[in-house]
Amino acid sequence: MKISRRDALKITGLSVVVAGMVPRMAFAARNALRSVRTGVQPGDKTRLVIETSTRPSYSLSYPEKQLVVDIANMSADSSIAPKLASGTLISEIKQVQSGDHLQIVATLRKNIGQLQKSQIMLLEPNGDNDYRLVFDFTAVSTSADKIASSVTSSGASTQKTKQNIIIIDPGHGGKDPGCIGRGGTKEKDIVLSVARRLKTGLDQAGFKTYMTRSGDKYLKLAERAEFAENRKGDLFISLHANANPSRSVKGFSIYTLSEKASDEEAKKLAESENAADKIGVDGFTEFERDIRAALSSLQQHAVAEMSEEYANGCARAFRSSKVEAQPGPSVRHAPFAVLRSTVPGALIELGHLSNAAEEKLLKSPDHQNKLVAAIVRSIKNYNFDV
């Protein structure tokens, strides 16, 4: 029986958080390509099989007469030649390296429609086989078929997104203003404005959304994580704005949870954000014990890889929207308390209020809409089902 990452989270749930006894696992081990092959299935279907050493984090795109499978955290391997069967829609397969991603580009004899969930399988290791991504598809031969395929795809997407719950977490609030720009702009106000726009955008896209706070309210970090758990969230998006001693630094960055920070800046940022709970809060020591228990659950491989997958997709969406990135890696890792739950998620630093030009930009409704559009696109492209 195939068990998805999402099924694994449902099985573990809060009982694992309370127990805190699950062994900690490393984040996103390097994946390796094992084989690529094609075949013919009943109904004149073409089958594409991509075998990998670990569970793949992937996305699909459909250029003219091509199917592109983008796999994260993988390098090209020239020693692996695709095995092409006769009678399929695939005439050629090549490997293309794109940063830390490997693209398996299948050249098609005819166009195909957007693949539906029923046309994709992710098979667990079995015998001599490792993980296998399996795609079954046929050609879209006429304009009428293309229209029908588009309608079906749109309907399926709408149905799917209505089943997914997104938790939007505007950072800080109330007595905790977050960082403050030179012009007096408060982080808590900027992120709340963006969060409200994001909720509207996601609601319109068919998602079910909740905000941890809809007004100027202070929430402890544990309360935000518990909020996501109680509403059975599928994805947790925590919105923040950054500050840097160097006022020339600007740009977005995205963080996922890790027991150790990926760099010194990530460590300092996590310490700063986590310190928000120390603002006149009783029982902070007890809160720390709860967080330590929750950490063992979050270190599970499923949550780690799902968060990493979303963060990478969000960074791509920002870059394609021409949103400037902070120097260095766009996706980083740090021990953020707000991300400690069984819900996959990421903390998005929208920009730097310490930079005068970006402070002005972050206050702009047009720029906020630009950020929201990129986040909405990243969530729509995120693979909730595998």
Q: Which helix (H) or strand (E) holds 190?
A: helix 187-204
Can you say whether the dihedral through the CA atoms of 271, 277, 280, 284 is positive or negative? negative
Could you tell me where the beta strands, DSSP code E, fall in 109-220?
Answer: 120-123, 131-137, 165-170, 208-211
What pLDDT sits at residue 323? 95
Domains of the chain: 31-159 (2.60.40.3500), 163-381 (3.40.630.40)
Distance of alpha carbon 271 from alpha carbon 279, whole angstroms: 14
Which residues partner with 347 through β-bridges? 238, 255
pLDDT by position in tens, the chain (length 386): 444 555 555 544 443 343 333 333 334 457 999 999 999 988 889 999 999 999 888 889 989 899 999 998 899 999 999 999 999 999 999 999 988 899 999 999 999 988 888 889 888 888 788 999 999 999 986 544 444 444 444 444 434 434 699 999 999 999 999 999 989 999 999 999 999 999 999 999 999 999 999 999 999 888 888 898 889 899 999 999 988 888 999 999 998 876 554 456 545 544 555 545 444 434 434 434 444 444 444 445 567 778 888 888 999 999 999 999 998 888 887 665 656 667 888 889 999 999 999 999 999 999 999 999 999 999 998 888 65
* Contacts (Cβ under 8 Å, ≥6 apart) of 366: none
Instruction: Read off the pTM.
Output: 0.58
Eight-state DSSP code of residue 260: S
What pLDDT sits at residue 284? 35
Helix %, strand %, coil % for the chain, to 5? Answer: 35, 25, 35
Distance of CA 272 to the CA centre of its chain: 23
